[in-house]
Amino acid sequence: MTTESRKRDLYLGIGFLLFSIGVWIASFSIKHLVVARIGSAFVPQLAATLLALLSITLILQAIFQAPASTSRQGKLTEQDAEAASKRKKRVRLTFLLILFYLVLLEPVGFLITTTLYLFFQFWVLSRRQPNLPLYGIIAISTSIIIYYLFVKVFVLFLPAGILG
């Protein structure tokens, strides 16, 4: 790991840790709309906790990981450059997918939007030959399970969209 990437990871870890603390604090101002076993603030607090743990892991990794040898630093091979380009493309596509997910969630609904998001996200993140039928099965079953959990167990309603 180069010194530059260690610094970047350290700054990103600190930034996301501060962001997760902000989300955690802001979650206490969420109003409880329905009487449920788990309140409306549960998911944001869970997400903030997981983000904080991952941020702390990134910070510790950046601090304690040994720097790369000096002979290797600064020398990017063609393979390294190609791999970096592919990673950047995946990150851009992931942000684009998240944007589409947020825009389509209310009008289209949770089940359809989440299924499509997961399917395409699996496809974007696959490094080998994509297994599209498997991605479809996992995306559909995951969306149904999450919907069932929120509606039946947590008694929290998700956007129904065109199915509602």
Q: What is the pLDDT of residues 44-86, one digit of tens each?
A: 889 999 999 999 999 999 898 876 654 555 566 777 778 778 8
What's the Cα-to-Cα distance from 51 to each of 48, 58, 66, rounded to whole Å? 5, 10, 24
Contacts 24+ apart (CB under 8 A), 96-102: 97/121, 97/124
Q: Report yes or no on whether pTM surpasses 0.85.
A: no
Q: With 90 as the cut, is the pLDDT of residue 17 above it?
A: yes
DSSP element (H, E) containing 36: none
Note the pLDDT of residue 35: 66
What are the backbone angles phi and psi of residue 107, rounded to the nearest 5°?
-70, -35
Position 72 scores a pLDDT of: 52
Instruction: Answer whether residue 103 shows pLDDT above 70.
Output: yes
